[in-house]
Structure 1
Amino acid sequence: MLSAAHKAIVTATVPLLETGGEALTTHFYRILLDEHPEVRPLFNQANQVSGEQPRALANGVLMYAKNIDRLEALGDLATQIVQKHVALQILPEHYPIVGACLLRAIREVLGAEVATDAVIEAWAAAYGQLADILIGTEAAEYDRKAAAPGGWRGGRAFRVARKEAESAEITSFYLEPVDGQPVLDFAPGQYIGLRLDVNGQEARRNYSLSAAPNGRSYRISVKREPGGLVSTHLHDQVQVGSVVELFPPSGGFTLADAERPLVLISGGVGITPTLAMLETALARTPQRPVRFIHCARSHKVHAFRRAIDALAHQHPQFERFYCYDEAPAADDVEVAPHAVGRINAASLAQWLPAAAEGVRDIDAYFLGPKPFMQQVQRSLRTLGVPDRQVRYEFFGPASALE
């Protein structure tokens, strides 16, 4: 049980986490993945190499330590963790493995003089509290998804009914359940977990659902990442008729019902969840003004442009704007963007609904590479969009923009 004395010790370690948290979590992952091969499929190794996973965990551990007395202050971070865990099917038996490796990393990185028996005991109690909260919340989510119409628990076999290239880098996979039964409904913006056998090794990944829910099938649209183990396998080896295993849809980055103007901003493959949001918004609230802003390196890697253009012709309340890093040839007017260069406050100011008394009363959703998202967040603030009306999601480990 986590006592007041334990909380005081955990809080006292915050300065150490602020300066050395990433070194600690990097060592933690080295122990975990080297000594426990059974959990390797739960982690994208590319995020280990880039350092993104250790940084995200360090931030999460730090936030937990800072808010040990008021866990409600963790807000969206806790929700993101639960949703990612459910999408990958993290189970109660995984938590003791992670806990033992984390405590060992604390002892080995901080040293016995700092990581005393009292410190280890306090962190063991703190981890136990967090694990109990996550296990309980995740169990409720598993039960809810299994009991819902079209729902299921664990993996379910889906067949690739159609495979379609959307750009030079992105391919869509249309997935239908092998059992022929209905599929679980989802909120636009959510993702599914995918389990594959890649070269004899199990791998799990999350992919955004890129089409509005229909109760019969799912669509994911996957970018071929340079050196990407799973994305390369999907593009090259998974064909029409192939069977893959899916976990139920999850995710907290979802389209909320509202009447104020909707703005969807995406960069690169970040377009995928905004497509489901766009289709749903146009069908659900036909009078709601919608602006769709997409950024890509060039027209060659711009996926879904024809589909978006077609929607714009069908819905007068819908406007779309494209921004490319590279300009097309001067005579290629059919693929000309609305702007060339990186998105910024000046370009957004032209495309967002006008401000009234310095405030732009819109709902903004954005997703893309982290530098892109940081620029969009800064620009939206500069242009008077209230923070409470701005939502975003990360591909990969939950991270912080600021």
Structure 2
Amino acid sequence: MLSESSRQIIEETLPDMQERIRRITPAFYDEMLTEREDLLDGMFSRVDQVVGTQPQALAGSITFFASYVLNHPGSSPDEILTRVAHKHASLGVPAEEYVTVYQFLFKAIEKEFGEEYTPEFRDAWTEIYWMMADALIRIERSLYDSQANDQVNAPFTLVKKEQKADKIFDLVFEPADDTPLSDIKAGQYLSVIVKTKDGLRQPRQYVALPCGLNQRRIAVELDRTGEISPILTGLQVGDTVEISNPYGDLTLEKTVTDGFSPLYVFTQGIGIAPALAFAHQLALEHAARDIIFVHADESLRTWAYREELEEATGKLPRGKLISFLQASGEGDFTGSINMKKLEITPRSFAYVCGPVDFKQTVRSGLIANGVPGKNIQFETFGSDPYMHTATRRTMHRRY
């Protein structure tokens, strides 16, 4: 619990911190990664630093946490912290590096605030930082302990490569050593690490697709201007990469898979990946409720994994697949997703997997049809504020 003396200072300075933190975090990362270049090797994405995603994430996390602690004394935003901890665990962030982050971050804060950076100010925000860091460290330790091995990453060899649609490739890997494999829950992701042209190891996260025993399978969308997807899609059978244990908390919860309320899974583009994992799991469980997969895409040509999703949906007693395609006459409906074409009720549950604008549009449509926010889960493919209060669960995939 936040001390009373710190609470008063945080209340007074939070608005100013919220305004300045977006200038502080880029400066912090720039200096830290200049002095600790080793952190870019397999842990931090340098693309995220260039486009500002990681600095924005940290800025949002600190001020969100401070605001939450002020408004909910004696508690912490466990659901949000768990999501962040899963991301950190997938990258193998060690507990001792929280000290490194603290040192460089507060050096940047001091530079920004100048004379306003009093000992009392420093101590209050230090208390906030370590409250959040200690909570994350505890969760991450538990996540590491739950795995079948103690390795951050292990080598995997590409055994199959197939192009599934325009710019989307299906990659299947098998272990290149005897590291035990952890079980994967439908909807979880893997960090995949490859060597870039200059030799730097760089990580990206990809949803784990259904696969055979002793395998890992991912879908990679080629971005020719990106740094990592051209490398991954250019791999040949026999090539080796590093892959982490599975992480991520956007999984099918018992409260969602059981019961009889309709379950909708909305997807767009490569967002179909977690939906495919859900469909396979639900089919194995012979889920008896109404389960409706709603996919949006440009055309049949760009719609990856359509046949596989159709097959899995067909195994569900009350499963249905509905498509909204931009190409006229190719889908069940033409254009963007229209809630009026669906039988949405306030009892419905929904998972939304796709780009940020897609997520926001679908969420607004669901809310307008009476679906409570607590019944809507998200996975975002693209940039989104790390601690945005409207986002219950968000994972980022980078190219």
TM-score normalized by the length of structure 1: 0.87
Contact 2:190 2:206 in 1 (8 A): yes
1:311-339 deviation per Cα after TM superposition (whole angstroms, max 9, x unaligned): 34444522111223x315xxxx6xx0123
Distance (whole Å) between structure 2 residues aligned to residue 311 and residue 283 of structure 1: 9
SS in 2 for 1:270: helix
CA shift at 1:281, angstroms?
0.9
Distance (whole Å) between structure 1 residues aligned to residue 336 and residue 26 of structure 2: 33
Aligned residue identity for 1:306: E
The reply to whether residue 368 of structure 1 matches residue 366 of structure 2 is: no
Distance (whole Å) between structure 1 residues aligned to residue 269 and residue 249 of structure 2: 21
CA shift at 1:304, angstroms?
0.7
SS in 2 for 1:113: helix
Partner of 2:68: 67
Q: Structure 1 stretch 27-36 or stretch 186-195: which is displaced more?
A: 27-36
Contact 1:64 1:71 in 2 (8 A): no
Partner of 1:38: 38
Quick one: percent identity of the two aligned structures?
A: 28
Matching residue within 159, 162, 165 for 1:164: 162
Partner of 1:23: 23
1:140-183 deviation per Cα after TM superposition (whole angstroms, max 9, x unaligned): 2111214xxxx443222211111111111111111212236762
Distance 1:31 1:339, change over 3 A: farther
Contact 2:286 2:317 in 1 (8 A): no
CA shift at 1:284, angstroms?
0.7
Partner of 2:395: none
Partner of 2:222: 224
Contact 1:32 1:101 in 2 (8 A): yes
Distance (whole Å) between structure 2 residues aligned to residue 202 and residue 71 of structure 1: 41
Q: CA RMSD in A?
A: 2.3
CA shift at 1:367, angstroms?
1.5
Aligned residue identity for 2:310: D
- Unmatched 5+ stretches in structure 2: 391-399
Distance (whole Å) between structure 2 residues aligned to residue 124 and residue 312 of structure 1: 51
CA shift at 1:89, angstroms?
0.6
Partner of 1:270: 271
Partner of 2:87: 84
Distance 1:73 1:138, change over 3 A: closer
Distance (whole Å) between structure 2 residues aligned to residue 40 and residue 230 of structure 1: 14
Contact 1:253 1:392 in 2 (8 A): yes
CA shift at 1:401, angstroms?
6.8
Count of residue pairs brought into register by the alignment: 380
CA shift at 1:231, angstroms?
1.0
Distance 1:315 1:134, change over 3 A: closer
Contact 2:171 2:219 in 1 (8 A): yes
Aligned residue identity for 1:194: V
- Unmatched 5+ stretches in structure 1: none
The reply to whether residue 9 of structure 1 matches residue 9 of structure 2 is: yes
Partner of 1:113: 115
SS in 2 for 1:185: coil
Distance 1:130 1:119, change over 3 A: same
SS in 1 for 2:296: strand
Distance (whole Å) between structure 2 residues aligned to residue 96 and residue 364 of structure 1: 39
SS in 2 for 1:301: coil
Partner of 2:138: 136
CA shift at 1:255, angstroms?
0.7
